[in-house]
Amino acid sequence: MIIWGSTGKEKTIDRPDFYCPECRSEVSGKHIGVYRYFTLYFIPLFSLEKHGEYVKCDHCEGSFNVSILDLTADEIEAALEPWKCEGCGNTNPPGKDRCLGCGEHHE
Ligand SMILES: [Zn+2]
Ligand SMILES: [Zn+2]
Cα–Cα dist 29/59, whole Å: 8
Q: Which ligand is nearest to the CA of 27?
A: 1
Average model confidence (pLDDT) across the chain: 91
Question: What is the distance in A from the centroid of ligand 2 to the CA of 101?
Answer: 5
Predicted TM-score (pTM) of the model is 0.69
Smallest Cα–Cα separation from 87: which of 62, 64, 105, 67? 105
Domain boundaries, the chain: 4-71
Question: What is the distance in A from the centroid of ligand 1 to the CA of 58?
Answer: 7
Q: Is 44 exposed, middle or buried (0-12, 13-18, 19+ CB in 10 A)?
A: middle
Question: What is the distance in A from the centroid of ligand 1 to the CA of 46?
Answer: 32
Question: What is the distance in A from the centroid of ligand 1 to the CA of 61?
Answer: 6
Cα–Cα dist 64/56, whole Å: 6
Question: What is the distance in A from the centroid of ligand 1 to the CA of 66?
Answer: 14
| Residue 2: per-residue pLDDT | 83
Cα–Cα dist 32/52, whole Å: 9
Residues 52-104 pLDDT 10s? 999 999 999 999 999 999 999 999 998 888 999 999 999 999 878 899 999 98
DSSP code of residue 70 = G
Q: Please, which residues bridge with residue 54 across strands?
A: 32
Question: What is the distance in A from the centroid of ligand 1 to the CA of 29?
Answer: 8
Cα–Cα dist 36/9, whole Å: 6
Question: What is the distance in A from the centroid of ligand 1 to the CA of 62?
Answer: 6
Residues 12-46 pLDDT 10s? 999 999 999 999 999 999 999 999 888 888 888 87
Residues 40-64 pLDDT 10s? 888 888 777 888 999 999 999 999 9
